[in-house]
Amino acid sequence: MADIDPIEFRNALGSFPTGVTVITSKDADGNLYGVTANSFNSVSLDPALVLWSIGKTSTSYNAFMDADYWNVHILASDQEAVSGNFAQKGGDKFVDIDFSEGVKGVPVIAGCAAVMQCQIEHQYEGGDHIIMVGRVLDFNDSGKAPLAFSRGRYARLA
């Protein structure tokens, strides 16, 4: 088996264009969490299931491992700054963010292309990540154009 260089592997994965999401949650003490994630994908239509994965070195890792509810925000093309905000490590990321409370008080960020409010269904081991599968309890689709991410850069769809 050939040695896999993690950086080269990451670059190769970057040739697969994705959207950009922010996943939010709230712990039992009321602390809010959010991370930028492009590992999001659809899983099932009936039941409605989606997935994303969280890195085990993420500051929010324990909070998401314990979370029963989390919300997926598919970012709109004008939300690059929101992506950058939630890609920061730790700290209060909600200071400059316009949001409301959704199911179980989990933050719903304003102005997104789509939002999916989820309850955890499964957690799977995934190497240096944990794969989170959530059941969609409610969703909203604004029709706004999505933000894209490809080869380490933000992009807009033509």
Ligand X SMILES: Cc1cc2nc3c(=O)[nH]c(=O)nc-3n(C[C@H](O)[C@H](O)[C@H](O)COP(=O)(O)O)c2cc1C
Residues near ligand X (CB under 6 A): 20, 35-39, 52-55, 58-60, 83, 87-90, 149
Give the H or E element holding residue 61: helix 61-66
Give least dist CB 109 to ligand X, A.
14
- What are the φ/ψ torsions at residue 122 (nearest 5 degrees)? -150, 155
Name the token pair of 147: 């933000």
Nearer to ligand X, 72 or 115 (CB): 72
Give least dist CB 46 to ligand X, A.
25
Nearer to ligand X, 41 or 140 (CB): 41
Give least dist CB 94 to ligand X, A.
12
Name the token pair of 131: 């794969």
Nearer to ligand X, 11 or 59 (CB): 59
Give least dist CB 1 to ligand X, A.
25
Name the token pair of 9: 């592997």
Nearer to ligand X, 39 or 119 (CB): 39
Which among 74, 44, 42, 40 is positioned nearest to 54, based on CA atoms?
40
Q: Is 74 exposed, middle or buried (0-12, 13-18, 19+ CB in 10 A)?
A: buried
